[in-house]
A = this chain, B = another copy of it.
Amino acid sequence: MKVQVTQENLNRALGTVSKVANTRNTLPILANILLKTVDNRLFIAATNLEIAMTEIIGAKVYDEGSITVPARLTQDFVSNLPSGTVELESKDNKLAISTASYNSTINGIPADDFPVMPVINSQNKISQKSKDLKIALQQTLLAASSDDTRPVLTAAYLHSHKGQLFVVATDSYRLAEKKLSPYKDDISLLVPAGALNDLMRVLPDNDSEVVINYDEQQVRFSVEGVELITRLIDGNYPDYRKLIPAKFATNVTLTKSELVNITKVSSLFARESAGSITINIDSKAQQINIHSIASQLGENTASAEASVDSDGVVTLNSRYLLEALNAFSGQRVTFSINGKLDPCLLHSEENKDYKHIIMPVKS
A residues bordering B, Cβ < 8 Å? Answer: 70, 73, 76-77, 80-82, 94-95, 101-107, 261-262, 264-265, 268-269, 296-304
Q: A261-B82, A297-B107 known; A77 and B268 CB under 8 Å?
A: yes
Please tell me if the beta carbons of B298 and A107 are within 8 angstroms of each other in the complex. yes
Chain B residue with the shortest CB-CB distance to A100: B303
Which residues of chain B are within 8 angstroms of A81 by Cβ–Cβ distance? 265
A307 to B213, CA, bound (A): 58
Q: A101-B262, A265-B80, A268-B73 known; A106 and B302 CB under 8 Å?
A: no
Which residues of chain B are within 8 angstroms of A298 by Cβ–Cβ distance? 73, 94-95, 104-107
A80 to B300, CA, bound (A): 13
Which residues of chain B are within 8 angstroms of A299 by Cβ–Cβ distance? 104-105
Most buried by B among A103, A105, A298, A301: A298
A299 to B106, CA, bound (A): 7
Task: Please tell me which one of the listed residues B80, B264, B301, B304 contacts residue A103 in the complex, with CB atoms under 8 A apart.
Answer: B301
A76 to B297, CA, bound (A): 13
Please tell me if the beta carbons of A302 and B265 are within 8 angstroms of each other in the complex. no
Please tell me if the beta carbons of A102 and B302 are within 8 angstroms of each other in the complex. yes
Please tell me if the beta carbons of A103 and B296 are within 8 angstroms of each other in the complex. no
Q: Besides the contacts A104-B298, A105-B299, what 5 more A-B pairs have beta carbons closer than 8 Å?
A: A102-B265, A102-B300, A103-B300, A105-B298, A107-B297
Please tell me if the beta carbons of B101 and A303 are within 8 angstroms of each other in the complex. yes
Closest Cβ–Cβ distance, residue A81 to chain B (whole Å): 7
Chain B residue with the shortest CB-CB distance to A298: B106
Please tell me if the beta carbons of A302 and B101 are within 8 angstroms of each other in the complex. yes
Which residues of chain B are within 8 angstroms of A265 by Cβ–Cβ distance? 77, 80-81, 102, 104
